[in-house]
Structure 1
Amino acid sequence: MAFRDLIDDIDEVVFETLGDSARIEGREEPVLGMFAAPWLQPKLGKLNTGLREPRFEIRVSDSEGLKRGLLVSIDLPALDGGGDYDLLQLEPSGDGLVALILRLRP
């Protein structure tokens, strides 16, 4: 068995057990991934800007056909970052995952 096949098996278990669910425009079924919205907190002088970069990491196999501007609805409570987002860009990491960089919809 090839290394990528082993990683696919591990990813399947991890995503099914620990993954967050999201609905992506144009997809009938929810997509499992890992949502995070880390604070970037760059400082401009003494002003903390409080910027966030929400991202939803999915498997490469789930990223086919995705493009900028699609609606991504994260199925989490609002305080955990759930809600509707616009897809800004895709960032493949080279390890079988793709980060969907998101922006909160107004």
Structure 2
Amino acid sequence: MPDFSALGARMDAAIIVHLSDAATLDGAPVRGMFAAPWIQPSLGTMHTGVVEPTLRVRDSVAASASEGSIVVAPAGSLIAPSGCTFEVVGIEPDGTGFSALVLREVQP
């Protein structure tokens, strides 16, 4: 019988490799999945409650973040095609091994 935890870890690794965006968290390179409310995320015909940009990362990455940490989205990313700097204003673990870093754009 396969080890479910090992299969889950392999699936998470594949998702991060193939579907994530590059970013930096306090100067260290990380990979995560950006979500931006202005791209109008929706489930079916009902809009979600996302009102702030987020970067979903593994819990092990989120453990090194705190409120006030700086996330830089390089040019070409989904959330900021020309690049952008964000401040972490919240960390929301979801119980699946991933956490959402809630972001606020830092104005130059």
TM-score by length of 1: 0.76
Give, in whole Å, the separation in 1 of the partners of 2:77 and 2:20.
17
Give the direction of change, closer, same or farther, for the CA distance of 1:78–1:18 in structure 2 (3 Å limit).
closer
Task: Give the CA deviation at 1:10.
Answer: 0.5
Corresponding residue for residue 74 of structure 1: 73
Task: Give the CA deviation at 1:78.
Answer: 7.2
Corresponding residue for residue 12 of structure 1: 13
Q: For residues 35-54 of structure 1, give each alpha carbon's deviation from its aligned partner in whole angstroms, at most 9, with x where no partner exists.
A: 01114x9xxxxxxxxx9410
Give, in whole Å, the separation in 2 of the partners of 1:69 and 1:25.
10
Give, in whole Å, the separation in 2 of the partners of 1:16 and 1:8.
12
**Structure 1 residues not aligned, in runs of 5+:** 42-50
Give the direction of change, closer, same or farther, for the CA distance of 1:78–1:9 in structure 2 (3 Å limit).
closer
Corresponding residue for residue 3 of structure 1: 4
In the alignment of these two chains, the number of paired residues is 95
Give the direction of change, closer, same or farther, for the CA distance of 1:79–1:60 in structure 2 (3 Å limit).
closer
Once superposed, which parts of structure 1, at least 4 consecutive aligned residues long, lie more than 2 Å away? 1-5, 75-82
> RMSD of the alignment, in Å?
2.5
TM-score by length of 2: 0.75
Look up the equivalent residue of 1:91 and give its one-letter code.
Answer: E
Task: Give the CA deviation at 1:16.
Answer: 0.6
Look up the equivalent residue of 2:13 and give its one-letter code.
Answer: E
Corresponding residue for residue 92 of structure 1: 93
